[in-house]
Amino acid sequence: MSTHIGANKEDIANRVIMSGDPLRVKYITEKYLDNYKLINEVRGMLGYTGYYKGERITVMAHGMGIPSAGIYTYELFNDYDVDYIIRLGTAGSYDANFNVNDLAIVKDSYSDSVYENNLDGSDYETIESSKKINDKIKEIAKEKNINIKEARVYSADNFYTKDDITDEMREEHGCSLVEMESFAIFSNARVFKKEASCILTISDSFITHEELSSEEREKKLDEMIELGLDTIISL
């Protein structure tokens, strides 16, 4: 049992699907897992362990933002010996090549956060995700005839900003998308020599100004969810 996760070590599988929203975690569990049990509800951050196509996995929430995702993935890697984490999330698009409802693999994550420096004194601004997991995601996406592209994301500390940073992130830092968690997850994976990746559904476009509703973000992401689940059990 860790500081923020009320599970015994044996309750958590070494392969974990994560999402920011506890209700999305509950939805994934109830729709896709068999013989599952609730293994965490501390602070409402729901986690379940069960079986998907006969393989034991854990599905758990990590909350919003780099600090929250950093806490939960740090403890999963360090205290529970988790080897693989795939985040299933949503993102905004700075790039006309990524439209609402498109799927993306996060190839690497850029951030101006101090998370990495405070974690172990490193000064990385960009952290790569797991090539091993990404190659498997692409392989399974091809089998399922799912169109998915790789992208660099801006992993932001601020949801609201005083200025429009679309051009800066796209042109100066090469970021096609924006989300708020992958930088911490990849940083923790680097420190603990584990594997982590992230699949995103585009929920908002800064180009077309389209967006998904809150209900759609919670319950209409099945293509991404199934791709993530099929990938995690193949690792």
Choose the catalytic residue: 11, 95, 204, 230.
204
Half-sphere exposure of 125 (CA within 13 A, CB side): 6
pLDDT at 35 over 70: yes
Q: What is the pLDDT of residue 218?
A: 67
Please report which residue ranges of the chain form alpha helices under DSSP H.
Answer: 22-32, 66-79, 115-120, 131-143, 166-167, 182-192, 214-219, 222-232
Q: What is the pLDDT of residue 219?
A: 66
If pLDDT is split at 50, 70 and 90, which confidence band does 68 have? very high
Tell me the percentage of the chain whose pLDDT exceeds 90.
84
What is the dihedral sign for C-alpha 85, 42, 219, 200?
Answer: negative
Left, alpha or beta for 174 (phi > 0: left; psi -120 to 50: alpha)? left
Per DSSP, the three-state class of 172 is helix
The pair of three-digit structure tokens given for residue 29, joined into one six-digit string = 């569990």
One of 3.10.450.50, 3.40.50.1580, 1.20.20.10, 3.10.20.600 is the CATH number of 9-232, namely 3.40.50.1580
- What pTM did the predictor assign? 0.95
Q: What is the pLDDT of residue 194?
A: 98
What digits encode the pLDDT tens for the residues 71-97?
A: 999 999 999 999 999 999 999 999 999
Q: What is the pLDDT of residue 39?
A: 97
If pLDDT is split at 50, 70 and 90, which confidence band does 214 have? confident
pLDDT at 217 over 80: no
Ranking 62-66, 130-134, 204-208, 227-231 by mean pLDDT, the lowest is 204-208
- Annotated active-site residue 123? The verdict is no
Rounded average pLDDT over 8-37: 97
What digits encode the pLDDT tens for the residues 156-180?
A: 999 888 788 888 989 999 999 999 9
Q: What are phi and psi of 52, to 5 degrees?
A: -120, 115
Ranking 35-49, 61-75, 89-103, 152-166 by mean pLDDT, the lowest is 152-166
Rounded average pLDDT over 140-155: 97
